[in-house]
Structure 1
Amino acid sequence: METVKIRNRDMSWDIAADIHFPPDFDRSKTYPAIISAHPIGSCKDQTSGNVYGVALAREGFVVIAFDASFQGSSGGEPRFIEDPTLRVEDFRHVTDYLVTLPYVDENRIGVLGICGGGGYSINAAMTERRIKAVGTVTGANYGRLMREGFTGYDPIGALEAMARQRTAEARGAEFKVDDLLPPSPAEARRLGVTDRDPLEATEYYRTPRGRQPNGLNRSMPSHQAAAIGWDAFHLAEVLLTQPLCVVVGDQVGAFGAYRDGCEIIGRAASKKKELVVIEGWSHYDLYDKPEPVGQALAKLIPFYRENL
């Protein structure tokens, strides 16, 4: 593995990324490459890199797992901004970097997105034609989530609160940063959290199972307004034409990845598309548990081999 810094030439900061290489990697040869995108509030050191990135590299792909701008080890201030437009632009900068590497075949670049990274991957591929194949694992449409559960189904009220907070910060108030999850599974239960997805998210991110220093699950509410007006699947009927493999678990929760997976398969203009339902497993099981991850990879590996 090699850690690199990719210059975001539009914003003048660096995007941090880990490149995972195939066994017996030879820099004089060319390889297909996969961009691996992490979930909301996550980082390249979690499922996108240390699970799927490592596994796909073992199968002969060069895999680049990157930290979103404003998050993880990437640059950008203030920290913990989750702006979908900027998240999608990160994919372009990572692709720019890949096409400069002599060992990457520029005509064989794919993308894999996990959770919110799945929605971003789909949206990026619509207008980034250097991406030739799109895979998602429990991919979620962050814009839909923001209009629904993440704002208590009151997007207008949330926008008004965000506007007030942004005005306060513009006038010198301290930046407000929210923790998106409770500090422990026990605290989540004490607070009355009962839905599968937030409980399992807490169990993943707030225990040694998935905890990483940069996977902090924090966000600045004053900079969330753009997400409420954004939709990962906008114009998919026209612009999403690449081969598409969407992996979801059938144990559904509040974050809605199963629903989003069904929707994008129905809407995508792609002639080659498949919805893969992993029976008996949930959103966060697909992050790192060997059995469901193995089932997901059993579909994704031949998908990328065929289409890259």
Structure 2
Amino acid sequence: MNTLALNTAAALMASTAAVAQVETRPVTFQNEGATLSGTLYLPEERGSEPLPTVVVTGAWTSVQEQMPANYAREMAERGFAAFTFDFRGWGKSGDLPNNVRFIESPEAKTSDIKAALAFVATLPEVDADHINGLGICASAGCMVDAVSGNPLVQRLGLVAPWLQNEEIVEAVCGGADGVAVLIEVSHAAEAAGGQIIPAAGPEGAEGVLMPIGGYYYEADRGAIPEYDDKWNNAGWEGWLTYHPADNPQRLDKPLAIVHSESAAVPQGVQTFLAGFAGDATAQWLEDVTQFDFYDNPEDVTRAADTVADHFRAGSSN
């Protein structure tokens, strides 16, 4: 792997985002029999030529109006077209097979990203030769899977990626025994046709996926009306047995990663980069939390600058 490391000071000096007007357009597309809801973001002031484009996906349980929208706007302000969407079973999109919702399925989400990439390539505003993927947090592994070997995609960016393997899963979930318990919960919920619990809650709340307060729980941040705020316990097994940190060799695109030692599972990024044979830019910001990467203006700007520069390098080829 050829890695270019960017420090915080350099990133601050390189920040060049300009305030610009952004046009949004709701669209729908199809995947595996379901209708998915998406939004196309375009610079309001643009010429007639098609634009290099970024497909943006967000954290687990999220909808397109949360952190994906923040980064899509940032990309449009920098001259790109950007596209966000709700995965099947979330937000305004249709259900997974058998009318299932709120399942965190890496397999289904990877399929949806591939469908989104194929869809944007047909839009007249999009330069189909310069399409990029941007995965945030838990969708990072799915984005890697979707763009790897995909001739539609030129480059990949990951912001605060949650790239897990078995070791990380066990560390987060209370060891092998804790993982086994959650998989039993998953089996029981699946047998019952699903078991829905709140996704977010105050710190220490019981019966909640994320009892930590913060972004998903605060109305002026992620707890927006569009947010489902639900989790289906039937999805635990698929999520816990998904180990994208161990499979970097499948990626065949130039990569830019923005992360922080203060954010979630930085060891997963280190593992992924150690096994990645391609060209990578790694920007490590100091004292930036996972939630800061979602909506803190300074941190979002710095991350957006890095991935935008990475995507522009592909557009200039």
- Structure 1 unaligned spans of 5+: 170-174
Paired positions, count: 284
- What is the TM-score with the length of structure 1 in the denominator? 0.85
Instruction: Read off the aligned partner of 1:59 and give its amino acid letter.
Output: R
Q: In structure 2, do the counterparts of structure 1 residues 219 and 72 end up closer, same or farther at CA, with 3 Å as the change threshold?
A: same
Question: For the Cα contact (< 8 Å) 1:116–1:142, is it kept in 2?
Answer: no
Question: For the Cα contact (< 8 Å) 1:23–1:60, is it kept in 2?
Answer: no
Deviation at 1:13, TM superposition (A): 1.1
- How far, CA to CA, are the matches of 2:214 and 2:185 in structure 1? 29
Q: Which residue of 2 aligns with 1:33?
A: 53
- How far, CA to CA, are the matches of 1:203 and 1:277 in structure 2? 22
- Between stretches 104-113 and 221-230, larger displacement belongs to 221-230
Deviation at 1:144, TM superposition (A): 5.0
Match for residue 79 of structure 1 among 88, 97, 101? 101
Tell whether 2:197 aligns with 1:178: yes
Q: How does 1:32-181 map to 2 (within 5 A)?
A: 32-49=52-69, 51-76=70-95, 77-141=99-163, 147-148=169-170, 151-153=173-175, 154-169=178-193, 175-181=194-200
Deviation at 1:143, TM superposition (A): 6.2
Q: In structure 2, do the counterparts of structure 1 residues 87 and 146 end up closer, same or farther at CA, with 3 Å as the change threshold?
A: farther
- How far, CA to CA, are the matches of 1:149 and 1:212 in structure 2? 31
Q: Cα deviation per residue 1:257-279 (whole Å; 9 max; x = unaligned)?
A: x2222222222222x20111111
- Between stretches 144-153 and 208-217, larger displacement belongs to 144-153
Q: Which residue of 2 aligns with 1:241?
A: 252
Q: How does 1:135-284 map to 2 (within 5 A)?
A: 135-141=157-163, 147-148=169-170, 151-153=173-175, 154-169=178-193, 175-182=194-201, 184=202, 188=203, 199=212, 202-210=213-221, 211-237=223-249, 239-252=250-263, 255-256=264-265, 258-270=266-278, 272-284=279-291
Q: Which residue of 2 aligns with 1:22?
A: 43
- Measured on the aligned residues, the alpha-carbon RMSD in Å equals 2.3
- How far, CA to CA, are the matches of 2:158 and 2:196 in structure 1? 28
Question: For the Cα contact (< 8 Å) 2:245–2:268, is it kept in 1?
Answer: no
- Residue 294 of structure 1 aligns to a residue in which SS? helix
Q: In structure 2, do the counterparts of structure 1 residues 144 and 103 end up closer, same or farther at CA, with 3 Å as the change threshold?
A: farther
Q: In structure 2, do the counterparts of structure 1 residues 285 and 90 end up closer, same or farther at CA, with 3 Å as the change threshold?
A: same
Deviation at 1:198, TM superposition (A): 6.4
Deviation at 1:161, TM superposition (A): 2.7
Instruction: Read off the aligned partner of 1:117 and give its amino acid letter.
Output: S
State the percentage of identical aligned residues. Answer: 21
Question: For the Cα contact (< 8 Å) 2:38–2:84, is it kept in 1?
Answer: yes
- How far, CA to CA, are the matches of 1:56 and 1:22 in structure 2? 9
Q: In structure 2, do the counterparts of structure 1 residues 198 and 292 end up closer, same or farther at CA, with 3 Å as the change threshold?
A: farther
After TM superposition, the runs of 4+ consecutive aligned structure 1 residues lying more than 6 A away are none
Larger RCO (CA under 8 A, 6+ residues apart)? 2
Q: Which residue of 2 aligns with 1:172?
A: none
Question: For the Cα contact (< 8 Å) 1:134–1:245, is it kept in 2?
Answer: yes
Instruction: Read off the aligned partner of 2:182 and give its amino acid letter.
Output: A
